[in-house]
Amino acid sequence: MLHSQNGPRRTGECLGLAAFSLLLMTGILLLFAWEGAICLAMAFPIALLLAWFGILVRGIFAPFDRNATLRCIAPVAVVPRLMAIESKWEPEPALREVRTSVAVAVAADPATIWPHVIAFSPLPEPDDWLFRTGIAYPQRAELVGSGVGAVRHGVFSTGAFVEPIDVWEPPTRLRFQVTEQPAPMREWSPWAIEPPHLEGFLVSRQGQFRLVPLDHGTTRLEGTTWYTNRMWPSAYWGCLSDWLIGRIHRRVLDHVAALAQARAPSNLRPER
């Protein structure tokens, strides 16, 4: 609105100005240790769409004169009240499910794979660019006890998940609840920061491993996570979190498959 105060401006020029303004703001947030680079990068696309939408609405409903600018500014005073209403009406987030499988990747029967599912040795450090940005990644799994009531600890780069087991069906199904979890990531930032949105927004509720026997002594490994995500809009953030959890699943399943493959009888190992 300030840019067009003295006369009409081209739409492309205004859109570029909005993008520059957002880049400037994200730089300030990072500079003063209010945010980390990864979260800013994930939020930038939706912030840019909202900014561009505002420009288009202003251009459609208000001619370029001073009174119109004042009329556009006036609704901004309502924003704090709307924010208060939003916090009171926040709906419960939907339970999301992410399922990943390694199909016909392990030349071993479920009994051979089962010990590596309930607990597994340390994984090598990732060379995946995603996990180098600070996203939490799995390192190992430990088991205290056996059967229903045992507690599994999924150790990640940011801490450990505490996972009491409620379904123990060797060698085909393991299910567990999640009672404690670490931060989902370490912010990539020049400062040591812990943004509040990393706590209580992305919450793992339950997990499961299934081992499905296939033909020729092979097995399909499946990993499933049920979780909630309180970030709005859920359609946007849910797609990102589903994708990230799927990448984490793949890292674990590939590791379990490699461990089981190494122990499989030689006549069951696939030819290379």
pLDDT (tens digit per residue) in 218-257? 889 999 999 999 988 889 999 999 999 999 999 999 999 8
The CA distance from 74 to 77, in Å, is 6
pLDDT (tens digit per residue) in 183-203? 999 988 888 888 888 888 999
Q: Are 203 and 183 in contact (CB under 8 A)?
A: no
Q: Which of 251, 205, 208, 207 is nearest to 227 (CA)?
A: 205
pLDDT (tens digit per residue) in 73-110? 666 777 777 777 776 777 889 999 999 998 655 567 88
Q: H helices of the chain, where? A: 11-31, 37-61, 66-73, 79-88, 110-118, 129-132, 234-263
pLDDT (tens digit per residue) in 4-42? 667 677 878 888 888 999 999 999 999 998 889 999 999
**Whether domain 95-263 has CATH 3.30.530.20:** yes
Q: The pTM is what?
A: 0.83
Q: What is the DSSP letter of 268?
A: T
At position 39, the amino acid (one-letter code) is C
Q: Are 163 and 142 in contact (CB under 8 A)?
A: no
Cα(first)–Cα(last) distance of the chain, in Å? Answer: 65
- In this prediction, residue 63 has a pLDDT band, given cuts at 50, 70 and 90, of low
Kindly report the backbone phi and psi dihedral angles of residue 96, in degrees, each rounded to the nearest multiple of 5, phi listed first: -105, 150
- In this prediction, residue 55 has a pLDDT band, given cuts at 50, 70 and 90, of confident
- Tokens coding 231: 């970030």
- In this prediction, residue 270 has a pLDDT band, given cuts at 50, 70 and 90, of very low
Q: Which part of the chain has CATH 3.30.530.20?
A: 95-263
- Tokens coding 173: 């199904």
- Tokens coding 171: 């060698």
Residues in the chain: 272
